[in-house]
Amino acid sequence: MSDEGLQAAEGRMSRAIEAMERDFGSIRTGRASTNLVERIQVDYYGTPTALNQLASLSVPESHTIVIQPWDRSVLGAIEKAIQRSEIGLTPNVDGTVVRLNIPPLTEDRRKDLVKLVHKRMEEAKVEIRNHR
**What are 7-28's pLDDT values in tens digits?**
877 787 788 777 777 766 656 5
Both 98 and 112 in one domain: the answer is no
Please say whether the beta carbons of 57 and 37 come within 8 A: yes
**Predicted pLDDT at 99:** 92
Please say whether the beta carbons of 34 and 59 come within 8 A: yes
Mean pLDDT (the chain) is 82
Domain count, the chain: 2
**Predicted pLDDT at 69:** 92
CATH number at residue 92: 3.30.1360.40
State mean pLDDT over 18-41.
Answer: 74
Residues facing residue 94 across a β-bridge: 97
Q: Is the predicted pLDDT of residue 64 greater than 80, yes or no?
A: yes
CA distance 124 to 21: 10
Both 41 and 68 in one domain: the answer is yes
Pick from 42, 33, 46, 101: nearest CA to 69: 42
Both 126 and 75 in one domain: the answer is no
